[in-house]
Structure 1
């Protein structure tokens, strides 16, 4: 099993590498400490599994996952984090990652990697207990909270589908300047800083509603 490990804590990164390389059936082909590296290393090595932290500088694990899965929908990504955060769990599920496990459960990492390599989904027991309630709640987004108009929701969907400003303008019969203005207002409303985060917002709050 060829894997890549991404974590911005170098102590954790090197510890994971040492622990996993002790397994006879695992080859750590590359390591990195940021989501940008995750994207480039995945493109270079196409590992069996990408084991990645979520909270990192510059590009986080969710942003990197979205970019990787957009290019390769079959990518096997296992997210590893210390944060048992409800929003992250829903985002991870909707992006299509194969698993989400907590860092403190080191004993489950190796079996989780094996399961993910076989295209199984893996979540800690603590997370599994939350899933029914989380997915039920996330199926009914509160648009009043963000005060999004129908047109603004259409633009968010276009961004999530990877459309450029010009393509959005053509699709929705708007000028590119109007699209830019809309996106600026939308990002301010939902408190994201760029198009990637806006697309993640869509997968968290709007996809399959």
Structure 2
């Protein structure tokens, strides 16, 4: 009898089958892992939804602490002790130079920008009030504070842009009041003063 006459030339060693199946399993797991990885986000891409953005800005590098107060039609008021109210959110309480230092890669980096931003994530019909308050005065007797209200959807629209001068520590001024209709349009812009600070 010839050598190997009892075996077909298609017969394989069980060890080869085991190796092939293991390789197939690892390939499958690798493909599942690759498809499960989230795509990297783009730099500067902010997915959070916003309908309106209220920005308060004052002198860079100054030690004054200016607070932004925003009241919505439902009576919710956003300020530094209540950073979330209804559909509004105070993104950062800027306290002048106090919180301008950041530790980046072991080095102290100073961001001199003095700015507070309130994001309105959904528009309610009714009256809105935007006030600025000089919580701490360390700079000039009269401090100019720029206030802007920008409607983001369905297209970018500057609703208000102006400057309010704040005097002594503790002074509060209404920068702007406006109304939002049911269709999202803004009307009735005025600067009629309304007190919001409740300290």
TM interval, short-chain normalised? under 0.3
Higher Rg: 2
Query: Which structure shows the higher strand fraction?
Result: 2
TM-score (norm 2): 0.25
Bigger RCO (CA 8 Å, 6+ sep): 2
TM-score (norm 1): 0.24
